[in-house]
Structure 1
Amino acid sequence: MSASWLERLSGPCAPAGYRPGATLARLGRNLGLADLPAAASFAYRKDGPRIEVRERTESHLLMHLVMCEFILRVPASGQGTLRAELHHTGMLRRSGLGCRLRGGDPLLFEALEARLATLQASLMPLDFQRLAIECRDGQWQVILEHMGASEVVNRMPALRRYIPLSTEQRHHLWLAFDALACALRDL
């Protein structure tokens, strides 16, 4: 028996043509890893921080995007809650980094802004679409959505294109995660 129109509209469903895990498998090849399972966790070097990777879909009219989110978790030394987002500034060329408070403690946000000012050199060359930093329950969480490591799927005309994570961007990604892990651990 088929679902009613109300059930189809109200329930979350995967976009047509979405292949779970396919983008993660391609990302695994970009990273030099054999296979990345649906919710992968790995360290890019023996003493490096653990990074979790997961797929996120975004539906549009007659197309959808599959993006990979890189998640870094670091224990917080202090208490407090915070939600902030980073973005590149500048209209045509990157001129810096901006940080917006989305919720939480303003004093913790000021301390985070001061710490991020020292990380600007490692974060500027990174091509990210979204970089969110949260602190809650005694843990920092960084969610980075890179512009590479994503797939564009059109239904009309039929097109499927993977945008790889370049070697240079992979290097910048690891430098950024090292810097963020060190900076947030002491905050």
Structure 2
Amino acid sequence: MNHYAISPKYSFWQKIGLLGKKRLPIGYQAGLTLNKVERDVSSYQCEFALGGGALAVLLIKPQDELIIEVTERVKTLFMAFIVYSHFTVSGACDNTIEARINVKTTGSMRKKSIRYVSKQVDGLAIIDLLNEYPIIQQTLEELDFNYCHIELKDGFWRCVIEPFTASEMVSRIPATRRYLRLTQQQRHRLLSALQLVSQLMRKRFPTY
């Protein structure tokens, strides 16, 4: 069953207002790639919801206390575009904390290492906490991802991972679509990393 949103019809003034916003590439249909992601994670409870701007959000529920949100990010290329998937876990935290921790990778695909980087004092404190749980670092080192970051702001924290797989290349000339499947091994590592970060943050902020 397809869940992607049908493009709405806009009035003249709505079209004028949209001119200043980032234009999506021709042929992009919100949620179409998420349908394929849903098949990759079909062993878990999944459901679709509407996000901002009527865009689709895939909710994965590996456990009762864990909800993973998956959204799409579109990158426009010449005569083509790529749809990436963002996997996000989030929760409440101390509203006085503001920090961003980026996960940087070094080495090769066969022997990769990661390190946590932040410019804020609060971020450095969270990094010290992360370093107490090497299983998180080990799991991220075994995961193929484009980027990963943890952000704490306005009383909420969230961890976002964009995996290398669960993405789709769409070309106009020639007209082709190529989806990189989220394999069982990478799916396990991705969901495990998100679950471990969620457990750590909930332990750090138990009363929020």
TM range (shorter): 0.7 to 0.9
Unaligned segments of structure 2, at least 5 residues: 1-10, 50-55
Question: Residue 116 of structure 1 aligns with which residue?
Answer: 130
Letter in 2 for 1:90: G
TM-score, structure 1 as length reference: 0.84
Distance across 1 between alignment mates of 2:95 and 2:153:
10
Q: CA deviation at 1:151?
A: 0.4
Structure with larger RCO (C-alpha < 8 A, sep 6+): 1
Question: Residue 68 of structure 1 aligns with which residue?
Answer: 85
Q: Kindly indicate whether the alpha-carbon contact (under 8 Å) linking 1:122 and 1:179 is maintained by their aligned counterparts in 2.
A: no
Q: Deviations over 1:15-43 (max 9, x none)?
A: 11112211000100110056645112231
User: Which residue, 160, 165, 179 being the options, matches 1:143?
Assistant: 160
Distance across 1 between alignment mates of 2:41 and 2:182:
8
TM-score, structure 2 as length reference: 0.76
Q: CA deviation at 1:123?
A: 1.6
Say if 1:24 and 1:55 are closer, same or farther in 2 by CA, change over 3 A: same
Tell me the SS of whatever aligns to 1:66: strand
Aligned-residue CA RMSD in angstroms?
Answer: 2.6
Letter in 2 for 1:115: L
User: Which residue, 24, 28, 36 being the options, matches 1:18?
Assistant: 28
Question: Residue 40 of structure 1 aligns with which residue?
Answer: 58
Q: Percent identity?
A: 28
Unaligned segments of structure 1, at least 5 residues: none
Letter in 2 for 1:66: V
Letter in 1 for 2:123: F
Distance across 2 between alignment mates of 1:35 and 1:56:
19
Say if 1:128 and 1:173 are closer, same or farther in 2 by CA, change over 3 A: same
